[in-house]
Amino acid sequence: MGFKQFEGADEEFNLEQMEAETEQMLRLRYINKDNAVFARTAGGFVSLDLNESIAPEHYDRIRVVRSFPFTDRDKYISIRTIDEKSKEIGMIKDLSTDVTPETRQMLEEQMDIRYFTPVIKKINSIKDEYGHAYFDVETDQGPCKFVIYMNSSSVVNLSDVRLLISDLDGNRFEIPDYTKLSARELKMLDLFL
């Protein structure tokens, strides 16, 4: 487990070790099927064994983070420790080529949890009520009703056609291509475009 950063009480101060740590921090380490083995754990997480030339590393649990969650979902996947500091263990350059399909599946499951975002399929109504907008939509996760603040960054353009909508609690909803919505839906959405 990676909880040992500040247990220095009985541990002599070691400048060399610290410098090695810093150096490691500044290094971009790539992970691929040759040097890493990912495995599912009983608790529903993923563990990692890293066969580094100096010393093998083992992580009971890892965190999987996208570097470009909006623009490049499958590349530059950062594998990090799960403690609050969340240090990078290594990076997978390309999920489609650098790891086995099983590993990819495993990691994608983890990322699906992390980046869970219902996709809006249909807009039933949007009502603008005094600083708030009341949404009634159909998503791939079923019908949802939520409220957003107006006049703020609740609706973000991720690209020319893609929208990310955040509700009062920061729950996210995505419209992958708003130009594909019907004229009626567009009219309701027009306030935010």
Partner 1 sequence: MPGKDVVVGKKKKAGEASVRPKEKIPASIRSVLEPYFPNGDMDEKVLICTETDMNDKLEFTLGYLVLCKERILVLVSEPVPGEVHFFKGRETLASKAQTVRREWTVKEYSLTDMKEMKIERTVGGGFLMLVHKNPDDEEADGKAEVIASFSNHRIGQTTRVERLCEKIVENEEIEEDEDEKEEEFCPICGMMYPDEDRKICPRCMNKKSILFRTLGYLKPYRGRIALLMLCIFVYSGLNIIWPYLNGKVLYDKVLAKDDAFIESFGIPGGKYVLALGILVLTMLGTKILMQMFGIFQGVITAKIVPDLVRTLKTDVFSSMGKLSISFFTSKQTGSLMTRVMSDADEVTGFFIDGLPYFLVNIFTIVSMAVVMFMLNPVLAVAALVFMPIAFLISWKMLPRLWHRYGRRHRATRSLNSKVNDNLQGARVVKAFGQEESEVGRFDKSNEKVRSADMAVLNYDNKFSALYSMAENFASLTVYVIGAFLILKAHTISLGVLITFTGYVSQLTGPMDFMSFFFRWYTNCMNSAQRMFEIIDAIPEIQEKPDALKLDHIDGTVEMKNVTFGYEKHKPVLKNVSLTVKSGEMLGIVGRSGAGKTTIVNLISRLYDPQEGQVLLDGHDVRDLSFETLRGYVAMVSQETYMFMGTVAENIAYARKDATREEIIRAAVLASAHDFICRMPDGYDTMIGSSGRELSGGERQRISIARAILANPKILILDEATAAVDTETEQAIQQSINLLIKGRTTISIAHRLSTLRDANTLVVIDEGKVAEQGTHEELIAKKGVYYKLKELQTKALALKGIE
Residues that bind partner 1 (CB under 8 A): 1, 6, 8-10, 12-13, 15, 18, 42-45, 60-61, 69, 82, 84, 112-117, 127, 129-132, 134, 141-147, 149, 151-153, 167-172, 187, 190-191, 193
CA–CA dist 173, 182 (Å, integer)? 18
Q: Which is nearer to partner 1, 101 or 142 (CB)?
A: 142
To partner 1, the closest distance from the beta carbon of 146 in angstroms equals: 4
Residue with tokens 């350059």: 93
Q: Which is nearer to partner 1, 54 or 193 (CB)?
A: 193
27: number of Cβ within 10 Å: 9
Q: Which is nearer to partner 1, 74 or 83 (CB)?
A: 83
Q: Which is nearer to partner 1, 31 or 64 (CB)?
A: 64
Amino acid at the residue 85: K
Contacts of 41 (CB under 8 A, 6+ apart): 47, 60, 61
Retrieve residue 83's tokens.
């403690």
To partner 1, the closest distance from the beta carbon of 50 in angstroms equals: 19
To partner 1, the closest distance from the beta carbon of 97 in angstroms equals: 26
CA dihedral 71, 74, 79, 83 (to 10 degrees): 50
- Which sign does the torsion angle of CA 179, 185, 190, 193 carry? negative
To partner 1, the closest distance from the beta carbon of 166 in angstroms equals: 9
To partner 1, the closest distance from the beta carbon of 170 in angstroms equals: 5
